[in-house]
């Protein structure tokens, strides 16, 4: 089963200074002026922490929602130099948070840390975009499903408010490489992920599963037929208003 809302989430990673807000302003204006765009689409952008407060304030009553890209695994305040907690992120107006991106997993995020990040973010009423994905070696050895199942089961628990959790399936081999999965494989994987989620959350909610990895204005047309996919987590192409608008436009028009 697919959801009614389709998400387009732009992950800026280490990009953006205050004036980059003009990129988002153009996207927001485009969406506002386009009669075909409707409430079935949700646009979220995750700038770096340095821009969360000003961007959240600017987009408070606009179409685009703002989220953070990561957080520290402990909440509240602490003697942790350079760390930013979910409480601090929420306090500046962010509504979403990405947890478990492969960039952060490769820098040392463990499942235990990710569980704590998810739980603390949910406790602070942030919507969590939880990333999972296999690497090239897993794929070549037919380990994709096993890896994804472990990534999900080691972090998500039935007691979590699944209404506020979005899964982003991002195969590591497709991030920034221009390679995307075959439609058939992607469909099977998405259905598999939803099955695992339904088992954990006892079918109370309809899982929201996004795809991420080299999505652009051209290949987005190939994803249109895959109704099981509830949206996209977009890296490189989200840093340009033209590219981001092309993706949105070519998907729903």
Query: Of these, 146, 176, 185, 221, which contacts ligand 13P (CB under 6 A)?
Result: 176
Site for ligand 13P contains 186 (CB under 6 A): no
3-state SS class at 9: strand
Q: How far is the CB of 192 from ligand 13P (least distance, A)?
A: 20
Site for ligand 13P contains 18 (CB under 6 A): no
Name the segment binding ligand 13P (CB under 6 A); options: 29-37, 88-96, 195-203, 228-236. Answer: 228-236
Distances (CA, A) of 194 to 57, 72, 94, 101, 179: 34, 27, 27, 19, 23
The smaller minimum CB distance to ligand 13P, of residues 3 and 214, is found at: 214
The smaller minimum CB distance to ligand 13P, of residues 99 and 201, is found at: 99
Contact 130, 109 (CB under 8 A): no
Binding residues for ligand 13P restricted to 52-91, rule: CB under 6 A? none
Site for ligand 13P contains 235 (CB under 6 A): yes
If you count DSSP H runs as helices and E runs as strands, how many of each does the chain have, helices first? 10, 8
Query: Of these, 11, 28, 121, 151, which contacts ligand 13P (CB under 6 A)?
Result: 11
Binding residues for ligand 13P restricted to 208-227, rule: CB under 6 A? 212-215
The CA distance from 122 to 20, in Å, is 29
Q: How far is the CB of 172 from ligand 13P (least distance, A)?
A: 9
Contact 175, 212 (CB under 8 A): yes
Query: Of these, 126, 175, 197, 209, which contacts ligand 13P (CB under 6 A)?
Result: 175
The smaller minimum CB distance to ligand 13P, of residues 98 and 113, is found at: 98
The smaller minimum CB distance to ligand 13P, of residues 11 and 144, is found at: 11
Q: How far is the CB of 179 from ligand 13P (least distance, A)?
A: 9
Contact 187, 228 (CB under 8 A): yes
Report the candidate in 216, 154, 129 with the shortest Cα–Cα distance to residue 179. 216
HSE-CB at 182 with a 13 A cutoff on CA atoms is 4
Count CB atoms within 10 A of the CB of residue 112.
Answer: 11
Binding residues for ligand 13P restricted to 134-153, rule: CB under 6 A? none
Question: Total binding residues for ligand 13P by CB under 6 A?
Answer: 14
Helix or strand run (H / E) with residue 127? strand 127-132
The CA distance from 201 to 98, in Å, is 20
Residues tagged active-site: 101, 170
The CA distance from 94 to 80, in Å, is 21
Residues at the interface with ligand 13P (CB under 6 A): 11, 101, 170, 175-176, 212-215, 233-237
């Amino acid at each position: 089963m697919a959801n009614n809302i389709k998400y387009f989430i732009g992950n800026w990673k280490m990009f953006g200074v205050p004036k980059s807000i003009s990129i988002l302003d153009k996207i927001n204006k485009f969406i506002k002026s386009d009669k075909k765009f409707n409430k079935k689409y949700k646009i979220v952008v995750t700038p770096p922490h340095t821009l969360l407060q000003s961007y959240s304030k600017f987009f408070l009553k606009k179409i685009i929602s703002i989220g953070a890209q990561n957080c520290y695994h402990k909440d509240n305040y602490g003697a942790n130099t350079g760390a930013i907690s979910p409480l601090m992120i929420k306090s500046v107006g962010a509504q979403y948070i990405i947890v478990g991106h492969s960039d952060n997993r490769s820098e040392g995020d463990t499942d235990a840390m990710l569980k704590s990040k998810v739980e603390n973010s949910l406790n602070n009423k942030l919507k969590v975009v939880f990333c999972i994905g296999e690497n090239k070696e897993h794929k070549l050895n037919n380990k994709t499903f096993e890896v994804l199942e472990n990534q999900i089961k080691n972090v998500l628990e039935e007691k979590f408010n699944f209404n506020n959790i979005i899964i982003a399936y991002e195969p590591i081999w497709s991030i920034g490489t221009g390679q995307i999965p075959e439609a058939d494989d992607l469909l099977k994987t998405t259905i598999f992920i939803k099955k695992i989620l339904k088992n954990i959350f006892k079918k109370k909610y309809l899982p929201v599963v996004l795809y991420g990895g080299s999505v652009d204005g051209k290949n987005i047309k190939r994803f249109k037929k895959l109704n099981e996919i509830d949206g996209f987590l977009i890296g490189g192409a989200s840093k340009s208003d033209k590219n981001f608008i092309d993706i949105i436009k070519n998907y729903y028009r």
